[in-house]
Chain A
Amino acid sequence: MNPLSFHAPVLLIAIPLLGAFAVPLIGRLGAHLRRIFTGLIALLTTACAGLVAATVFSAGTPITYVLGGRLTLPSGMNFPIRIILEVDGMSTFMVILTALILVTAVFYSFSYWRRRSGGTMYDSLLFLLGAGIFGMELTGDMFNFFVFLEITSIAACGLIGFRVWQGRSQEAAFKTMALYTLSGLFVLLAIGLLYGKYDGLNIAYLAAHIGSGLVDRIALGLLLVALAMKAGVVPMHMWAPDAYGEAPAPISAVLVANSQASLYGLFRVLFTLYGLAISVTTLGWIMIVLALLTIFIGVTMALIQSDIKRLIAYGAVSQIGYMLLGVGVGLATSAGQPDYGLVAMQGGIFHMINDAACVGLLFLAAGVIIRAAGTRNLNMMGGLAHDMRWTAMFFMIGALALAGIPPFNGFASKLMIYESTFRYSPILAVIAILGSILLLAVFLKVFQAAFLGPRTISPIERPSRLMLASMGVLALVVIAFGLFPGFFVHTIVGPAAKALWLGRDAYIGAVMGG
Chain B
Amino acid sequence: MMIGNFPYIVAMLLVAIGIYALLFKRNLIKLVIGISLVETGVNLFLVTLGYRTAGIAPIYTYAPNAKPMVLPTPQALTLTSIVIGLATTALLLSFVVFIYRHYGTLNVREIKELRG
Contact = CB atoms under 8 A, between A and B. Distances in A.
Asked if A and B are interacting partners, one says: yes
Interface in A150-198: 150, 153-154, 157-158, 161, 164, 166-168, 170-175, 177-178, 181-182, 184-185, 188-189, 191-192, 195-196
Interface centre among A171, A191, A241 (most CB of B within 10 A): A171
Interface string B27-55: 01001100100110010011001000000
Interface of A: 73-75, 143, 146-147, 150, 153-154, 157-158, 161, 164, 166-168, 170-175, 177-178, 181-182, 184-185, 188-189, 191-192, 195-196, 201, 241-242, 245-246, 304-305, 310
B99 A192 contact: no
A166 B113 CA distance: 12
Given A167-B113, A246-B114, A196 B49 contact: yes
B50 to A, nearest CB: 9
A173 B91 CA distance: 10
Interface of B: 15, 22, 28, 31-32, 35, 38-39, 42, 45-46, 49, 60, 65, 73-74, 77, 80-81, 84, 87-88, 91-92, 95-96, 98-99, 101-103, 111, 113-114, 116
B55 to A, nearest CB: 15
Contacts of B96: 174
B87 A174 contact: no
B84 A150 contact: yes
Contacts of A305: 116
Query: Which of A73, A153, A166, A192 has the most C-beta atoms of chain B within 10 angstroms of its own C-beta?
Result: A192
Report, nearest first, the 4 A-B pairs whose CB atoms are least far apart: A167-B102, A174-B95, A170-B98, A242-B114
A466 B60 CA distance: 57
A406 to B, nearest CB: 34
Given A170-B99, A177-B95, A241 B42 contact: no
B28 A174 contact: yes
Contacts, number: 99
B88 A177 contact: yes
18 contacts: A150-B87, A154-B87, A164-B98, A167-B99, A167-B103, A170-B98, A174-B95, A174-B99, A177-B88, A177-B95, A181-B35, A181-B39, A182-B35, A188-B81, A192-B45, A192-B49, A192-B74, A304-B116
A302 to B, nearest CB: 12
Contact of A170 (B38, B46, B77, B95): B95
A185 B95 contact: no
Given A167-B103, A192-B42, A192-B46, A153 B88 contact: yes
Contacts of A196: 49
Given A147-B80, A164-B98, A195-B74, 16 more contacts: A75-B65, A157-B95, A171-B113, A171-B114, A174-B96, A177-B92, A178-B22, A178-B31, A178-B32, A182-B22, A184-B84, A185-B39, A189-B45, A192-B77, A195-B77, A305-B116
Contacts of B95: 157, 161, 170, 173-174, 177
B101 to A, nearest CB: 8
Given A178-B31, A185-B38, A195-B49, A158 B91 contact: yes
A196 B5 CA distance: 13
A119 B32 CA distance: 29
A174 B81 CA distance: 20
Most chain-B CB neighbours within 10 Å: which of A73, A166, A172, A182? Answer: A182
Contacts of A158: 91
Given A167-B99, A185-B42, A192-B42, A178 B92 contact: yes
A73 B60 contact: yes
Contact of A189 (B15, B65, B92): B15
Contacts of A195: 46, 49, 73-74, 77
Contacts of B65: 75
Given A147-B84, A158-B91, A178-B35, A168 B114 contact: yes
